[in-house]
């Protein structure tokens, strides 16, 4: 319990609340002191003729009446609403008046001030005129008349309140406003803290709520930045988890074949020709494992968002020609011809090795899925803003529902999952990450007749 209270008192919300509240109270106190010193609650005015005329009339009536008393006089209703009679005993300075609220600030003034001659004193909410000396029941009094103002100022209502109320109300109001302000500032921080704690516990889908992110102040910017960070973190961790699962799954098949080949080789020790066949199979599977591991490492480096690109001015024409030459070497095994229209003297700011890897992987993918004795076309389109490279093959194409999945790691179209053309499913994923690293775009679409077109767009 004590730890909980200590933690609450140490929270930023409590610190903000106390700071704002103390500042508000100090401001109110200083304002009150300064206004008391500078402002006058009453102003001495020229004698009000109407008021003094009515006051003389009241004095005559009092002197003519033999049965008048203080209580009866104060209870007397004056003809005009908003008027009141006040009697002051000069001997005791006590002021007698009825219970009109607008008289509350006037009575203390009369008790502390004396006048030798009639005068009119203007207050924020009323006016006093007097005194005229009179006698009631053998006792001398000073007679005053008070007239309530037509449009009293707000301060007049405040002045009518008791002194303790005039102190406690500003304190309560300032406390409420300070609490609301502290809550408004601290609540988004508390939500971000809770969201961060949930993400730390593995709930990667946690986000700061919309009511906080829609704020247009710095706290709103902070919550939106937090959600962006959480989104990127979830994508990276999910990608790594998916990559780990896919790698584990994909390594199982070549490892199984390798184990089988080793087992058969051990059984064929006496048969040299069969032994060589099985050992060759082992070598093939080891090569496949090595290629897969190399591609996984390459993809992992590309998916790392803090990877540093070695950008330099590259001759895109030479780079394309080199990639096409390498692709043609593989295409010769299937008697496939790669036709290319490469413009001359085209340069681009890029990481040459990374860009060559992306283009080569797209060409290798086209060679794998194109039938023998077919043609692959490579087009290069130039504009003021970007460079577009299109690789058009003559293969069977891809089902429309699988187009968007082509660039996911280890994804292969079902009918292509065989040892000869299935591959690892990492080539296009590597190309995708390499192009994204250059702030470009890569996408695929089926041709009208047959085949697939992979388009790479790079900024100039």
pLDDT of residue 142: 93
pLDDT of residue 266: 84
Q: Do domains 43-150 and 312-459 have the same CATH topology?
A: no
131 prior amide bond cis, ω within 30: yes
Q: Where does 43-150 sit in CATH, by number?
A: 3.30.450.210
Pairing of β 337-341 and β 375-382: parallel
In this structure, what token pair is assigned to residue 121?
A: 């004193």
Instruction: Tell me the range of 162-166, 195-199, 296-300 where mean pLDDT is highest.
Output: 195-199
Strand order in the sheet with 83-88: 42-45, 119-123, 126-136, 139-148, 83-88, 95-97
pLDDT of residue 78: 59
pLDDT of residue 454: 93
Q: 290 versus 336: which is more confidently predicted?
A: 336
Mean pLDDT of 297-318: 72
Please count the residues of the chain: 460
* pLDDT tens figures, 416-445: 434 444 455 677 888 888 888 888 999 999
Radius of gyration of the CA atoms of the chain, in A: 47
| Nearest-angstrom CA–CA distance, 3 and 10 | 10
The pTM of the full predicted model, rounded to 2 decimals, is 0.46
Cα-based angle 189, 203, 195 (whole degrees, multiple of 5): 5
| Nearest-angstrom CA–CA distance, 120 and 144 | 10
CB 438 within 8 A of CB 350: yes
Tell me: pLDDT of 337 over 70.
Answer: yes
Segments making up each domain of the chain, as ranges: 1-39+161-188, 43-150, 219-301, 312-459
| Nearest-angstrom CA–CA distance, 208 and 223 | 6
Average pLDDT of the chain is 80
* pLDDT tens figures, 53-96: 989 988 898 888 878 888 888 876 555 667 888 999 998 999 99
Q: Where does 219-301 sit in CATH, by number?
A: 1.10.287.130
pLDDT of residue 376: 93
| Nearest-angstrom CA–CA distance, 148 and 129 | 12
CB 89 within 8 A of CB 11: no
Torsion angle of C-alpha atoms 353, 354, 358, 359, degrees rounded to 10: -30
In this structure, what token pair is assigned to residue 367?
A: 């060679």
Cα-based angle 170, 172, 176 (whole degrees, multiple of 5): 115
Instruction: Tell me the range of 15-24, 40-49, 436-445 where mean pLDDT is highest.
Output: 436-445
Question: Please, what sign has the CA dihedral across residues 208, 212, 215, 218?
Answer: negative
| Nearest-angstrom CA–CA distance, 140 and 154 | 36
What is the maximum span of the chain, computed from C-alpha positions, in angstroms? Answer: 152
Nearest to 51 by CA among 5, 14, 82, 23: 82
Topology at the third CATH level for domain 312-459: Heat Shock Protein 90 (3.30.565)
Which DSSP symbol is given to 372? Answer: T
* Residues recognised as catalytic: 249
């Amino acid at each position: 319990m004590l730890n909980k209270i200590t933690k609450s008192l140490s929270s930023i919300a409590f610190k903000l609340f106390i700071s704002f509240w103390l500042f508000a109270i100090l401001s109110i106190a200083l304002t009150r002191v300064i206004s008391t010193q500078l402002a006058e609650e009453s102003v001495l005015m020229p004698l009000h003729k109407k008021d003094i005329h009515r006051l003389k009339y009241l004095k005559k009536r009092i002197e003519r009446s033999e049965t008048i008393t203080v209580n009866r006089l104060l209870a007397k209703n004056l003809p005009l609403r908003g008027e009141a009679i006040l009697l002051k005993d000069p001997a005791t300075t006590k002021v007698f008046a009825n219970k009109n609220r607008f008289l509350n600030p006037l009575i203390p003034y009369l008790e502390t001030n004396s006048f030798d001659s009639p005068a009119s004193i203007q207050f924020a909410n009323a006016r006093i005129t007097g005194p005229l000396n009179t006698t009631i029941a053998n006792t001398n009094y000073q007679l005053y008349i008070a007239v309530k103002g037509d449009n009293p100022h707000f301060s007049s209502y405040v002045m009518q309140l008791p002194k303790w109320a005039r102190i406690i109300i500003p304190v309560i109001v300032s406390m409420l406003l300070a609490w609301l302000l502290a809550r408004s500032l601290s609540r988004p921080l508390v939500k971000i803290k809770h969201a961060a704690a949930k993400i730390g516990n593995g709930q990667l889908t946690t986000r700061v709520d919309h009511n906080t992110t829609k704020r247009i102040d710095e706290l709103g910017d902070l919550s939106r930045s937090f959600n962006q960070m959480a989104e990127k973190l979830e994508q990276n961790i999910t990608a790594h988890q998916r990559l780990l699962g896919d790698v584990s799954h994909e390594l199982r098949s070549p490892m199984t074949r390798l184990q089988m080949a080793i087992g058969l080789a051990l059984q064929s020790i006496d048969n040299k020709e069969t032994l060589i066949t099985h050992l060759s199979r082992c070598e093939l599977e080891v090569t496949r494992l090595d290629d897969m591991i190399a591609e996984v490492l390459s993809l992992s480096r590309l998916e790392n968002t803090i990877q540093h690109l070695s950008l330099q001015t590259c001759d895109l024409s030479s780079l394309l020609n080199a990639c096409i030459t390498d692709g043609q070497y593989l295409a010769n095994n299937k008697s496939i011809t790669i036709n290319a229209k490469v413009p001359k003297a085209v340069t681009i700011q890029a990481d040459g090795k990374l860009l060559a890897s992306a283009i080569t992987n797209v060409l290798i993918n086209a060679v794998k899925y194109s039938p023998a004795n077919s043609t692959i076309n490579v087009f290069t389109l130039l504009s003021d803003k970007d460079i577009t490279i299109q690789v058009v093959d003559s293969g069977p194409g891809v089902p429309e529902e699988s187009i968007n999945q082509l660039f996911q790691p280890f994804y292969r179209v079902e009918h292509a999952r065989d040892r000869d053309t299935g591959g690892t499913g990492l080539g296009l994923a590597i190309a995708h990450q390499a192009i994204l690293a250059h702030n470009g775009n890569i996408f695929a679409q089926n041709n009208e007749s047959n085949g697939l077109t992979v388009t790479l767009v790079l900024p100039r």
